A = this chain, B = another copy of it.
């Protein structure tokens, strides 16, 4: 999904819930859509402030909550105490591996694992809709 499609969704959500479209919201959303990491609110705020230093962090918090509600951002907790936001993946699902020492996060995809998950679920009579897989360990630098 490209940025303009996301904007359409956002606008529709705002309208549906009786919220207003504002320059700050648009700019924060736009900035977030351009990221490709698991960005923390702190980091996003910094990015936003670079262009518009008058935007307060409460607005960034509020906007990300909004994006999360309308499905345009995924909120994740990796155990370092901060919520991190991720864009919808363009290229299908991926999982995470997190360094328990330095908190570095890497991503990986493995079709075989996905397949085995579906099979394991099937054995129990379940149908899988979604999943969350996080590996915790040491990154190359901290090993």
Q: Which residues of A contact B (CB under 8 A)?
A: 75, 77, 79, 83, 97, 99-100, 106, 108, 110, 112-113, 116-117, 120-121, 123-140, 143
A-B contacts, 17 of them at CB < 8 A, read A79-B83, A97-B121, A97-B124, A97-B126, A106-B126, A112-B116, A116-B116, A124-B140, A125-B140, A126-B138, A126-B140, A128-B136, A129-B137, A129-B138, A130-B135, A130-B136, A132-B136
Given A79-B77, A112-B116, A113-B113, A124 contacting B106 (CB threshold 8 A): yes
- Expressed in whole angstroms, the minimum distance between the Cβ of A103 and any Cβ of chain B is 13
- Copy number in the complex reads 2
Given A110-B116, A143-B127, A121 contacting B133 (CB threshold 8 A): no
Residues of B within 8 A of A113 (CB): 113, 116-117, 120
User: Which residue of chain B is the closest to A104 with respect to CB atoms?
Assistant: B126
- Inter-chain CA distance A36–B127, complex, in Å, is 24
